[in-house]
Chain A
């Protein structure tokens, strides 16, 4: 069926709008869109979206993570194998993380990473046929925001929720950030790591994040004030 931007689309639908736009300028086809010889076809069920000037993608509900290059993910170290760590990132196979790809690591000075550690890392290589590779440094050799996540609490959610809370228009983080001290790491692989000073605060933060999945922006705001109120003891 022919579809246009903003429609709910199913695999097999095609979009002529993108083809005509492609005659004039370069077009970026995001996840869920495939270029075939005779047009652009949809390969995932969801909403067809466009971002000006030239990006199209399908916003779909998904829980399975497929590694792709450049994404920040949260992984759990499951094995030490010689020079590399095997890290579970939720993909079809484990990712490899070299012990040299930490800030300040050398052959003599190995980073202190043990099995069971949670790491926040960037996908460096992600291809269909190969094991993905992740790193904990940027191109300058600095760790930046990456590295081992100490303490805290990890939970899983859908990949959509990650994109929703990281969207600059989403009020969740803005309404929570002035309430109590907390730290958060969201991996594009559907894992969130949170850390707060007390157990109550951690649970409240986790509930706020998970509860916001199917709420509108207004509802998120009222839920956050409600949670903050309960936590402060105004409402019992």
Chain B
């Protein structure tokens, strides 16, 4: 556990400076304590105890297990204050899935336009000819 959360330590060169004497002493003391703790209980604390909780989190309430509505509800204008809160919550819920961009052009119109566009691209010659004819006509 202690190994995982590595503390940021001051470099040795800084600690050796004169004015860092107190800090150096404190750090040395801490190091000693850490080693003592480790050796003191090493015969009592087993690896099993260290990993006892593991991946399991205990939860004593149902509200975190099942999805549930808010317990305070009002309908048909019985309590406008609560209904406003309910509306706000519903609006939040409905907004989330439809976070896509709003479409300016519907899919159908786009499909039609693309069809025309592709036709033009496939036979640009005929199109050019058509244009020429048009110019001649004009």
User: Which residues of chain A have C-beta atoms less than 8 A from B62's C-beta?
Assistant: 30-31, 57, 163, 188
B61 at the interface (CB under 8 A from A): yes
A63 within 8 A of B: no
Residues A70 and B72 in contact in the complex (CB < 8 Å), given A27-B56, A145-B82:
no
> B65 to A145, Cβ gap below 8 A?
no
Main DSSP-derived SS at the A contact region: mixed
Residue among A31, A178, A183 with the highest chain B CB neighbour number at 10 A: A183
Question: B1 on the interface (CB 8 Å rule)?
Answer: no
A182 and B82 contacting across the interface, CB-CB below 8 Å = no
Give which listed residue, B53, B63, B66, B79, contacts A70 with CB less than 8 A: B63
Interface string of B47-65 (1 = CB under 8 A from A): 0100011111111111111
Q: Is B69 an interface residue (CB 8 A)?
A: yes
If A35-B56, A35-B58 touch, does A184 touch B65 (CB 8 Å cutoff)?
no
Q: How far is the CA of A51 from the CA of B68 in the complex (A)?
A: 13
A27–B64 touching, CB < 8 Å: no
User: Least Cβ distance of A194 to chain B in Å?
Assistant: 10
Given A28-B64, A31-B62, decide whether A178 and B70 contact each other with a Cβ distance below 8 A: no
Q: Which residues in B have their C-beta under 8 angstroms from that of A66?
A: 60
Tell me the residues in window 60-87 of chain B with beta carbons closer than 8 Å to chain A beta carbons. 60-79, 82, 85
Q: How far is the CA of A188 from the CA of B66 in the complex (A)?
A: 13
CA distance A196 to B77 in the complex (A): 11
Q: How far is the CA of A34 from the CA of B53 in the complex (A)?
A: 11
| Contact (Cβ within 8 A) A29 B72 | no
Q: With contacts A166-B69, A195-B78 known, is A68 near B60, CB below 8 A?
A: yes
A223 within 8 A of partner (CB):
no
CB pair B71 A187 closer than 8 Å: yes
Give the CA-CA distance A40 to B55 in the complex, in Å.
Answer: 12
Q: Which of A18-26, A81-89, A226-234 is found at the contact surface with chain B?
A: A18-26
Report A-chain residues with C-beta under 8 Å of the C-beta of B78: 181-183, 195-197
Known: A29-B59, A70-B61, A196-B78. A185 touches B71 (CB 8 A): yes
Whether A186 lies near B66 (C-beta < 8 A) is: no
Could you tell me the distance in whole angstroms from the C-beta of B112 to the nearest C-beta in chain A?
40
Q: Does A177 contact B (CB under 8 A)?
A: yes
A197–B82 Cα distance when bound, in Å, is: 16
Closest to A23 in B: B55
Contacts A68-B61, A186-B72 known; 12 new A-B pairs at CB < 8 A: A22-B56, A27-B57, A28-B65, A31-B62, A68-B60, A120-B72, A145-B82, A146-B72, A168-B67, A177-B76, A181-B77, A183-B82
Between-chain CB contacts (< 8 Å), 20 pairs: A22-B55, A22-B56, A26-B56, A26-B57, A27-B55, A30-B62, A31-B65, A37-B48, A51-B65, A55-B64, A57-B62, A57-B65, A72-B72, A120-B72, A144-B85, A145-B71, A163-B62, A166-B68, A173-B69, A173-B73
